[in-house]
């Protein structure tokens, strides 16, 4: 008995890294899997289908069910195809894990148009395109009287929550994914769908040059293992998380942080407008003496 017996799941970008471990974990809990991956380089170039096939082969060898989808998830048709493939192959679609991503890190003054467009497209449109078609599918199902236990789990980043220098394209997309998570959570709750997002930290080709301290050790708990992240996906995808929606989690090793949304840090109130000079005089009250609104990294 697995937590996800009988469920059908899609993981985008599941050929490598975190998505690979998420797909393997969902399958180990009994879900049938669509392994989406275009097989891109870290920068989003090329197309090698073998990593996605390898993941499907492992699932099948372990007695599970899996098919490969090689669509570019950042296209409208790619989003449509992957949902249709799940329904056509397995008869339903219950869990969508939006994970695919690329990186083109540069300072804003060095960034070119395609660095911006491609990263925004793969992350933001790559989340919305499958989510939009999943939303249509679940809404139609709910309206026809069938029970829906839909799950969308998005992938943000601490770069999106805090804003990271050198990642204008990536941080903007990942911040947008947080807003998208809240919008979809509001819109789909009435149809039986929860929508949450994770901001993971794990050792993959995306981060192997970033964090010096995450070299793999043969001894003890490997806190940088992407499997640690995958466990949270298993919980969020399950019926145990039916009452969890609109949440943003930072997840790393044995740590899971539920992150709060925006809250006021200072305020001014009166029954008529403030002039620019009056605002200048009142800024101590408004900002409580701290004028920079750049959030402090909580965990580094
Ligand atoms: N590794 C971390 O510590 C970390 C931190 C924060 C956020 N993330 C996010 O986690 C997700 C997974 O990252 P990772 O570290 O496993 O990276 P990764 O490069 O190992 O895996 C990303 C996968 O996405 C696939 N992909 C890229 N563009 C695609 C497209 N258009 N359509 C379908 N598939 C596509 C790639 O082929 C690759 O297999 C990304 O969204 C990333 O931004 C990772």
Question: Which protein residue has the closest C-alpha to ligand 1 atom 43?
Answer: 101
pLDDT over 90, % of the chain: 85
What is the number of other CB atoms lying within 10 angstroms of the CB of residue 292?
7
Residue 170 a catalytic site member: yes
> Residue 82 has what pLDDT?
98
Sheet holding 8-11, edge to edge: 66-69, 32-36, 8-11, 95-97, 150-155, 193-200, 248-252, 255-259
Predicted confidence at residue 299, as pLDDT, reads: 63
Does the structure show a pLDDT above 60 at 300?
no
Between 64 and 219, the more confident residue is 64
Mutate to test the pocket of ligand 1, among 10, 11, 13 (most ligand atoms within 8 A of CB): 13
294 in any annotated domain: no
Number of domains in the chain: 1
Q: Domain span at residue 150? A: 8-259
* Side-chain half-sphere exposure of 228, counting CA atoms within 13 A: 18
For atom 41 of ligand 1, which residue has the closest CA?
101
Residue 23, domain member (yes or no): yes
pLDDT at 149: 97
- The reported pLDDT for the residue numbered 186 is 98
What are the pLDDT digits (tens) for 117-155?
999 999 999 999 999 999 999 999 999 999 999 999 999
Question: Does the pLDDT value for residue 211 go beyond 70?
Answer: no
Q: What spacing in Å lies between the alpha carbon of 102 and ligand 1's midpoint?
A: 6
Atom number in ligand 1 closest to CA 158:
6
Indicate the pTM of the whole model: 0.96
Give per-residue pLDDT as tens, 262-275: 888 899 999 999 99
Backbone angles phi, psi at 257, to 5 degrees: -110, 125
Of these residues, 157, 162, 171, 238, which one is catalytic? 157
**Domain assignment of residue 151, yes or no:** yes
Identify whether 160 is part of a domain.
Answer: yes
- pLDDT tier, 115 (very low <50, low <70, confident <90, very high otherwise): very high
Structural domain includes residue 279: no
Q: Would you say residue 268 lies in a domain?
A: no
* Residue 105 maps to a domain: yes
Instruction: Provide the CATH number for the domain around residue 119.
Output: 3.40.50.720
Instruction: Classify the C-alpha dihedral 27-31-37-42 as positive or negative.
Output: negative
Residue 133 in any domain: the answer is: yes
* Higher-confidence position of 115 and 212: 115
Written as one string, the DSSP assignment of the chain is --TTTT-EEEETTTTSHHHHHHHHHHHHTT-EEEEE-----TTS-----HHHHHHHHHHHHTT--EEEE---TTSHHHHHHHHHHHHHHHS---EEE--------B-GGG--HHHHHHHHIIIIIHHHHHHHHHHHHHHHHHHTT----EEEEEE--HHHHH--TTBHHHHHHHHHHHHHHHHHHHHHGGGTEEEEEEEE---STTTTTT-GGG---SSS--TT-HHHHHHHHHHHHSGGGTT--S-EEEEETTEEEEEP----S-----SSPPPHHHHHHHHHHHHTT----PPPPS--
- Residue 47 has a pLDDT of 85
56-79 in b/e burial notation, b at 16+ Cβ within 10 A? bebbeeeebbbbbbbbbbbeeebb
Minimum mean pLDDT range among 34-48, 63-77, 87-101: 34-48
Is 157 labeled as catalytic in the residue annotation?
yes
């Amino acid at each position: 008995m697995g937590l996800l017996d009988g469920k059908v799941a899609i993981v985008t970008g599941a050929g490598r890294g975190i998505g690979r471990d998420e797909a393997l974990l969902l399958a180990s809990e009994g879900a049938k899997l669509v392994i989406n991956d275009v097989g891109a380089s870290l920068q989003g170039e090329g197309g090698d289908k073998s990593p996605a096939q390898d993941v499907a082969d492992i699932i099948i060898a372990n007695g599970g069910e899996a098919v490969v989808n090689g669509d570019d998830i950042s296209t409208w048709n790619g989003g449509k195809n992957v949902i249709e493939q799940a329904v056509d192959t397995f008869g339903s679609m219950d869990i969508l894990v939006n994970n695919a991503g690329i990186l083109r890190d540069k300072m804003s003054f060095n960034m070119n148009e395609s660095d911006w467009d491609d990263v925004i497209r793969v992350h933001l449109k790559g989340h919305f395109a499958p989510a939009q078609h999943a939303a249509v599918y679940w809404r139609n199902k709910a309206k026809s009287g069938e029970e829906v236990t839909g799950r969308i789990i998005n992938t943000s980043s601490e770069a999106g929550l805090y804003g990271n220098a050198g990642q204008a394209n990536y941080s903007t997309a990942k911040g947008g994914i947080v807003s998208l998570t809240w919008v979809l959570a509001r819109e789909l709750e009435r149809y039986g769908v929860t929508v949450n997002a994770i901001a993971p930290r794990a050792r993959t080709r995306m981060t192997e040059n970033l964090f010096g301290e995450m070299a793999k050790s043969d001894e003890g708990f490997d806190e940088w293992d992407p499997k640690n992240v995958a466990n949270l996906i298993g919980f969020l995808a399950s019926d145990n998380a039916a009452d969890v929606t609109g949440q943003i989690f930072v997840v790393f090793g044995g740590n899971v942080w539920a992150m709060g949304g925006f809250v006021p840090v200072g305020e001014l109130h009166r029954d008529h407008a403030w002039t620019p000079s009056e605002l200048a005089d009142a800024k101590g009250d408004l900002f409580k003496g701290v004028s920079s609104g750049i959030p402090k990294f909580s965990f580094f």
